[in-house]
Amino acid sequence: MNIEPHNWIKSSYSNNGGNCVEWAPARATTTGVVPVRDSKRADGPVLTVSVRAFAGLVALARSTEL
**What is the structure's pLDDT at 7?**
82
Contact 21, 9 (CB under 8 A): no
Quote the DSSP letter at residue 56: H
**What is the structure's pLDDT at 13?**
62
**What is the structure's pLDDT at 53?**
95
State the alpha helices, DSSP H only, in 1-66: 25-31, 51-63
**What is the structure's pLDDT at 36?**
92
pLDDT along the chain (66 residues), means of 10: 64 66 87 89 90 91 78
